[in-house]
Structure 1
Amino acid sequence: MTSLSGAPAANQLAVANPWAMVPSLGNLDAYISAANRLPLLTLEEEQGFARRLRDNNDLEAAGALVLSHLRLVISISRQYLGYGLPHGDLIQEGNVGLMKAVKRFDPDQGVRLVSYAMHWIKAEIHEYILKNWRMVKVATTKAQRKLFFNLRSMKQGFKADAAAQDADTHRETLNSEEIDLVAQHLNVKREEVIEMETRLSGGDVMLDPGPADDGEESFGPIAYLADATQEPTAQLESRQRDRLSTDGIATALQALDERSRRIVEERWLKVNDDGSGGMTLHELAAVYGVSAERIRQIEVAAMKKMKKALAEYA
């Protein structure tokens, strides 16, 4: 293992206890300031720590590698502030990517950790943005993800070109020629460019806007997006209806005589193969040799008796 005896004092402290370099932090600015003061590692130190981690699973060596590259995560995370997500969350996800890179880093491959870690940091931040940006999964394929993360910068490039040509730079949407250029450059369909631009340019809507300036309640999506079926009272009512429609109906039918029970079943509880209802009053009248009016009277009496039985069952 390479000797680190000649390292600067700050680096020697990082060797002994890397976490001692991190002070108590109260906010994001303090974290960024502390991370930027952490010492960088020389090539010799980096390879020494990496070999200790690889060969001996030395967690202190892993900590030294992570801490010395926190400023890299902060720098990369700033590139993604335009998506409206908290900077602290972007840094946190980038740190996850950094730790994955440290775990997989091989010092004998001839590259510095900073170059190797950039891919892992960006990949983790990309995944976080795609999962959380406006709570909508906007990209599924590799090409669509590339479109998502490049469309914004390409639009800025088009605006810069328009400004250089003294053309209109205030329009927010791409023209037909620019759409074709983006689609060709990123290897996606023209329709995908249009759809992605529409989603990226869509404004955010507050789920619950709260009281308006005049004190009245503002109307927001929360008013019509709430699922009332999951409300506890609605759940209890639904279970009660289900119980009455199964066990309750069966119990109520048992309270009827055989003829009344068959009339109710044929009229209300049976469905033909074609989706139509059961037997008519005249068909039942022919079966029992009575008038259709008599069948109706029996049916009404049976319904009253069942209603009473259901009330007692409930």
Structure 2
Amino acid sequence: MATPGRDTPSSTSPTMQTPQMNSSRGSIDASRSPRLGQANLHIQNPSSAAQHRQSFGDLRYPPSPRSTRQPSISSIAVQDLIDNPPHRTTPDSKFANRDWRTIRIAELSSPEDLKFIDINASVEEATNLLVDSGAPVLLLRDPRSTAPVVGTFDYNALNAYLLTAVGIAQPSEENAEKFAKMAQRAGQGKSIPVRDVRDIGRKESVTFLPESASLTKAIETFGKGVHRVLVAREGPEGNIEVTGLLSQTRLMRFLWENGRNFPVIDQLYSQYLRDLKIGSNSPISIK
């Protein structure tokens, strides 16, 4: 799990079949779909060949092999955190005398956190929205899909695209031809749709959790290498609605700012890492 700091963006990449859901169109067969609170939601980018709906029971968490686990936050974010540690504010009274493990993730998220953009929009449009809105990530929607979100676009994806377009970063061998053509089009001043650049850079699945999920469940998910989760609920007709977003850094900031409401957490802040046995005394390598 990450240390508090600024949100570290990440990109989306498919690794498994995608369930198809939409907050405004379509529904999931109620006879096959368990309650949202009893399911772990995890969807990824839909392919054109997989445009059928799936029930919540078909969804599962992404695997977490250590060999593919991504770092929680960048070295720049870590240094910024060291140089500018967050100030502890007055804790929110609504969380007083509560067990932090039972707090629902919906209590830390809001629909105002969500910024959507069509997957066919240009990179320029997406960049302007990213900058103007101040959002750490844009959620991609595909009009041809019934999924409420098919991917994300953030500063990590934007930087990776720019580095590839100017020839500094080299794509993988299987994507070399595709990105070479994209770089050529960009050099000619032609519009590049977001759908063509969303897979550049670090790959991470789009992961959903129900509103009723606890902070404990969120931490378990973040421990699998996931940096942010989309908060969702099941609509009256079985369709899925996205209602918020929770990132590693937002969760850590919440625990830092409200630690005095939770004595079991507050007592940890004054202790040394070595006393908490965090880290390793025999590191193999440092990158």
Give 1 or 2: higher strand fraction.
2
- TM-score under structure 2 length normalisation: 0.19
Indicate the structure (1 or 2) with the bigger Cα radius of gyration: 1
Higher relative contact order (CA 8 A, sep 6+): 2
